[in-house]
């Protein structure tokens, strides 16, 4: 009988794509292994996971809003419902191990799995542990982390420092530049600025770029701009006014390997997945951490790189004033670009997905 693994969590690309990378690595190592994903209904994993070729079941779980909200009154009922559904999923699928990657859905699923005597593994992507993972840590058999000094949140004897799993196609992007130029319709001779605000977009980054598009074009640069759903129409209108073919706008880019391949400089939020991909792609980056991330973990992620001269940091509140001037300066400073590329490459962990998959298989 084939072995079975449940992987739960999601909410953002920062949780979903590491989960998919772990699933891919597991199936590479054990081809007949069965994987089932468990996510939160209405969240992006319900679309992204099937697109990657895996089955997913949704729980009605939601988060507690920080501000006073009537929605919070429904939380206890949705939690109880999710726990009940998680228990039924476990009974039906009978997993040998359960993996949690953070996000709403991992809480009920891993809790019910541990109560059923199924070994659990947590993968924490950030330098500051999320509340769900902190609560689940006591029952977990293994906790895989991406940053040192995580014993501040988890039992030291359970921790394995393995890095964040990312898709294999980002490990070597240098050979894909020509393919990327063709795919995005870019010029092979101009420098390329790649802007990504995470899977949900980033208002401060988008507004800053919007205001500075003219200066970027005047400097002779071309722009690859992932806006997110909320800003795509505004961005398209802004580009139309400029009447230029040097700015390519997308709501979401699935071909991230090609986007990294063509980029000379990247502007990004500082979510764990983005940071890990930048390390592997070895790209000069300006990080603009999302200030409302839980426990300000994106700023902590960014400062880890800044402390090793591996990236530049602009506070979200300063983006409108500083982002365009700093981008223009970095785009023209080849020496600084090389320094950042050299230092960020040292932080890459290309085998993270395989290493975490091995830890999962050990628990089986």
**Known binding positions:** 12-14, 126, 167, 199, 253, 272-277, 298
Contacts of 316 (CB under 8 A, 6+ apart): 204, 288, 289, 290, 291
Q: How far apart are CA 363 and CA 288, in angstroms?
A: 38
Find out whether 348 and 282 touch, Cβ atoms under 8 Å.
yes
CB contact at 8 A, 344 and 285? yes
Residues forming a β-bridge with 4: 34
Going 216 to 208 to 276 to 335, the CA torsion angle's sign is positive
**Long-range CB pairs of 51-54, under 8 A, 24+ apart, other chains included:** 52/20, 52/23, 52/24, 54/20, 54/23
Which residues are documented as binding site for UDP-N-acetyl-alpha-D-glucosamine?
12-14, 126, 167, 199, 253, 272-277, 298
Contact 89, 113 (CB under 8 A): no
Residues 126, 132: Cα–Cα separation, whole Å: 13
Angle between the N-to-C axes of helices 13-29 and 352-363, in degrees from 0 to 180, rounded to the nearest 10: 70
Mark 270-307 as b/e (b = at least 16 C-beta within 10 Å).
Answer: bbbbbbbbbbbbbbbbbbbbbeebeeebbbbbbbbbee
Q: Which two tokens stand for residue 4?
A: 């079975």
Interhelix angle 203-218/319-331, nearest 10 degrees? 40
Taking the C-alpha atoms of residue 319 and residue 333, their distance in angstroms, rounded to an integer, is 20
Q: Which helix (H) or strand (E) holds 6?
A: strand 4-8
């Amino acid at each position: 009988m084939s072995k079975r693994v449940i992987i739960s969590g999601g909410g953002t690309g920062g949780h979903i794509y590491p989960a998919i990378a772990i699933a891919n690595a597991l199936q590479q190592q054990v081809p007949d292994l069965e994987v089932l994903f468990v996510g939160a209904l209405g969240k992006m994993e319900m679309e992204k996971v099937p697109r990657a070729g895996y089955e997913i079941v949704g729980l009605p779980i939601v988060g507690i809003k920080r501000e006073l909200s009537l929605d919070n009154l429904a939380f206890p009922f949705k939690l109880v419902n999710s726990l009940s559904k998680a228990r039924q999923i476990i009974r039906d699928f009978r997993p040998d191990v359960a993996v949690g990657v953070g996000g709403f859905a991992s809480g009920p699923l891993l809790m019910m799995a541990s109560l059923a005597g199924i070994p659990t593994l947590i993968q924490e992507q950030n330098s500051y542990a999320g509340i769900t993972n902190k609560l689940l840590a006591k029952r977990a058999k293994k906790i895989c982390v991406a940053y040192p000094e995580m014993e501040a949140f988890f039992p030291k004897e359970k921790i394995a420092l393995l890095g964040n799993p990312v898709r294999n196609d980002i490990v070597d992007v240098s050979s894909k530049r020509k393919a990327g130029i063709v795919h995005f319709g870019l010029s092979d001779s101009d420098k390329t600025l790649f802007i990504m605000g995470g899977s949900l977009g980033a208002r401060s980054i988008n507004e800053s770029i919007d205001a500075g598009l003219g200066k970027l074009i005047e400097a002779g640069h071309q722009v690859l701009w992932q806006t997110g759903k909320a800003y795509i129409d505004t961005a398209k209108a802004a580009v139309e006014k400029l009447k230029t073919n040097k700015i390519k706008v997308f709501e979401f880019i699935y071909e991230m390997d090609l986007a990294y391949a063509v980029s000379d400089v990247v502007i990004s939020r500082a979510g764990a997945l983005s940071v890990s991909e930048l390390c592997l792609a070895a790209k000069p980056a300006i990080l603009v951490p999302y200030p409302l991330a839980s426990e300000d973990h994106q700023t902590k992620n960014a400062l880890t790189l800044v402390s090793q001269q591996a990236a530049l940091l602009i506070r979200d509140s300063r983006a409108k004033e500083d982002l365009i001037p700093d981008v223009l300066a970095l785009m023209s400073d080849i020496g600084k670009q090389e320094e950042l590329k050299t230092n960020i490459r040292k932080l890459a962990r290309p085998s993270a997905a395989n290493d975490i998959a091995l830890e999962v298989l050990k628990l089986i």
